[in-house]
Structures are given as C-alpha cells and as structure tokens.
C-alpha cells in the first residue's frame, strides 16, 4: 500500500491522471465474477496524501487493485515512465511470490528483481527502505528452504480472525471475551465437521436443465472432446458449478494449458456440462497474441474454435476474467491478468 500511494501521488503530480478519473475507473471497471467480491473501494484524497495512513482497503482489495492497476490506468502512462517501471518490478516479484510452485532458477531471478526494485525505489523517492523491503530480500532463500511462500502466508489467518472480530461486535460482552470466543469457535468448528464442509471434495451444481448430448447446439464442434460418450447420454447443463471451492460460470475465462512455445492457452466458458461425476467445460478458445508488459497482462483475441475440456485437466483451477483496455479501439482485443506465474 505504501508504494501504491507513492506511485499514484507521483502520477497525479505529473498530471497523467486525476484522482477523480482514477476513482471513476475503479468503480466502473469490469472485474468479472472472479474479482467481484474483491472490488477496491474509492480512494480518498486525504488517505492518498497522508503516507502514514492506510488506503482503507482490505488485503484482498489491495491485491486486486495492484494486479489490475496496469489495465486500469496503463493507457494514460508513457511506457518509459520510471515510476511505472517500479510498479512493474513489484508485480514481477508478486507473480513469483504468489505462485504455488517455484523452481530454483525462479528464486535466483527473484533475487535480481528485488535488488533492481529496491535500487529504483531509492533513486525515485530518495527515501530509506522500509522493514517490508528488507523482508523481501530474504524471500528467495526462504523459498529454497521452505517451499513456495503462498502456502505460509497470513491471509488465511486474517480470514480466520474476521470471525472473532465480528463476534466481538455482536456479543457486546467483554467480561470474559476470550472464553466467549473460544466457546463460539468450537461450536462453529463442530458444525463445520458435522455438515462436512471442511476439506470438502464434493461438486456443487447450481440450477439448470437436463438434455441429451446429441441435442447440444455445439455438439459437432466439441464431440472430439467427448469421445466414448454415447450420443443419447443424458446430461445436466447448470448455470454454475463449484469444484473444490472454485466456482465456474459461463463468461469466465480459464487457463487451460501451455503450448509448445510456453504461451498460455485460455478459453472462455460458454456452457457447463455435468455427466455423473464428471464436469466438462465447453470453452471458446482465446488466441494468445503475446504478453504486454506495460499492461502486465496477456493480449488475447477471441476465435470461433469450441472445445470441451474436463475441469480436472485445467492447468490452473482459478477462474480468470478478460477485460478490454481503455486505449484499444478494437473491441475484439482483450487482456487477461494472471494471479501468479506458472512454472
């Protein structure tokens, strides 16, 4: 949050963007289903100018804002802007730190990025590094010793702590608040274990309709992905499905695989199919045009190719969202921002 404040203040001082324009884009941006609950709040002028106060965003909102900031305002910033280069270096660090699998070579690359980031930070803002910057120096070594740091982050602790914070406001009784919270927490855990919601591997299917495989409008295009399934097999077409806590809906984008050149292959979900215990996604393939570093996102173009893929075959189970840049006149060109790097 501290660096984001410095960056935004610098862009405003350079008259590249105004605070009103930034807030307008934050409120009107298409976040999609994948980030609709993490939509950032508007930024107040006093909060932005006072570097000692937070931006009044939750951790999830701050992560969402930082990931999508290049697409939000990147069209207003020149490619050679040094403050923008600092943001891109920070995002390059984050995409490795948030990755669930990291190679030894990636940790060495991370060390170089962190060193370059810190040097540019001190050059631009003439300020001493904060304790958070010092901690970043140890991240590569920690990854080599302990594995990906995403498995050790405190976000789950913060989410767990929300229960106690909310309970404190509800009970309004502080004579023995620790006992009250411990008792209520055990009741909640008991309920979770009894209803089987903890570590549930079940598939939750939303409302929909039943039809035959041969009656699907897209059957001819996707039949190669449904080999071995009789034409008159009855299947269910829901409006949404949840598999291992990941919810899929038509209109979402999924990361299917990498091609031979290492380019990611994305697909736009058109239809969901449920056949007994199997969930298939009928997707319309995105053509990957390349990685746009200035927007820190993959530039894609929608094709007419349809295919069916098993949800278990996805390279990444987190749904994504394709958005259009404010600078593009071509309505067919979209951008997809990843949550982390895939190794």
Concatenating the DSSP letter of every residue in 174-227 gives -SSHHHHHHHHHHHHHHHHHHHT-TT--PEEE-SEEEEEGGG-TTHHHHGGGGT
What is the rounded CA–CA span in Å between residue 164 and residue 126? 41
Q: According to the model, what pLDDT value does residue 194 have?
A: 82
What is the rounded CA–CA span in Å between residue 103 and residue 147? 9
Q: How many residues does the chain have?
A: 343
Q: According to the model, what pLDDT value does residue 197 have?
A: 59
What is the rounded CA–CA span in Å between residue 281 and residue 59? 31
Tens digit of pLDDT at every position of the chain (343 positions): 789 999 999 999 999 999 999 999 999 999 999 888 889 999 988 888 887 777 888 888 999 999 999 999 999 999 999 999 999 999 999 999 999 999 999 999 999 999 999 999 999 988 888 999 999 999 999 999 999 999 888 877 777 888 888 888 888 877 888 898 899 999 988 888 887 655 556 788 899 999 888 888 877 777 776 777 777 888 899 999 998 888 999 999 999 999 888 899 999 999 999 987 789 999 999 999 999 999 999 999 999 888 889 999 999 999 999 998 877 555 678 999 999 998 8
Q: CATH 2.30.30.490 occupies which residues in the chain?
A: 203-336
In the DSSP assignment, the letter for residue 74 is G
In the DSSP assignment, the letter for residue 100 is S
In 3-state terms the chain splits into helix, strand, coil percentages (rounded to 5) of 45, 20, 30
H-run or E-run covering 22: helix 19-28
What is the rounded CA–CA span in Å between residue 36 and residue 239? 17
Q: According to the model, what pLDDT value does residue 283 have?
A: 93
CA torsion sign, 18 to 28 to 303 to 312?
positive
> Has domain 203-336 been given CATH number 2.30.30.490?
yes
Q: According to the model, what pLDDT value does residue 218 have?
A: 79
Contact 284, 268 (CB under 8 A): yes
Closest by Cα among 285, 307, 286, 303 to 221 = 307
What is the rounded CA–CA span in Å between residue 194 and residue 180? 21
Closest by Cα among 311, 290, 194 to 243 = 311
Q: According to the model, what pLDDT value does residue 168 have?
A: 84
Q: According to the model, what pLDDT value does residue 77 have?
A: 94
What is the rounded CA–CA span in Å between residue 253 and residue 175? 50
């Amino acid at each position: 949050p501290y660096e984001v404040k410095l960056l935004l203040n610098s862009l405003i001082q350079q008259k590249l963007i105004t605070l009103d324009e930034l807030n307008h884009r934050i409120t009107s941006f298409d976040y999609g289903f994948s980030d609709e609950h993490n939509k950032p709040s508007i930024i107040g002028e006093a909060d932005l100018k006072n570097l000692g106060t937070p931006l009044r965003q939750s951790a999830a909102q701050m992560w969402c804002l930082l990931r999508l900031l290049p697409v939000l305002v990147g069209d207003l910033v020149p490619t050679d802007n040094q403050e923008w280069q600092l943001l891109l270096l920070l995002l390059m660090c984050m995409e490795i730190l948030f990755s669930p699998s990291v190679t030894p070579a990636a940790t060495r690359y991370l060390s170089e990025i962190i060193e370059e980031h810190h040097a540019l930070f001190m050059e631009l803002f003439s300020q001493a590094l904060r304790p958070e910057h010092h901690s970043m120096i140890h991240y590569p070594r920690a990854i080599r010793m302990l594995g990906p740091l995403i498995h050790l982050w405190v976000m789950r602790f913060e989410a767990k702590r929300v229960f106690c914070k909310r309970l404190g406001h509800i009970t309004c009784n502080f004579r023995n608040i620790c006992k009250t919270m411990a008792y209520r927490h055990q009741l909640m855990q008991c309920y979770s274990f009894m209803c089987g919601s903890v570590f549930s591997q079940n598939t939750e299917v939303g409302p929909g309709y039943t039809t035959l495989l041969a009656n699907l409008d897209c059957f001819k295009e996707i039949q190669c992905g449904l080999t071995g399934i009789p034409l008159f097999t009855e299947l269910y077409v829901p409006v949404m499905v949840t598999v291992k806590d990941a919810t899929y809906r038509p209109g979402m984008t999924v990361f299917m695989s990498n091609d031979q050149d290492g380019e990611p292959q994305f697909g736009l979900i058109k239809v969901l199919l449920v056949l007994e215990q199997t969930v298939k996604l009928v997707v319309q393939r995105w053509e990957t045009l390349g990685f746009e570093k200035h927007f820190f996102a993959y530039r894609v173009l929608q094709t007419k190719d349809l295919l069916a893929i098993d949800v278990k075959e996805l390279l990444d189970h987190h749904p994504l969202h394709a958005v259009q840049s404010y600078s593009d006149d071509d309505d067919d060109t979209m951008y997809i921002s990843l949550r982390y790097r895939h190794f």
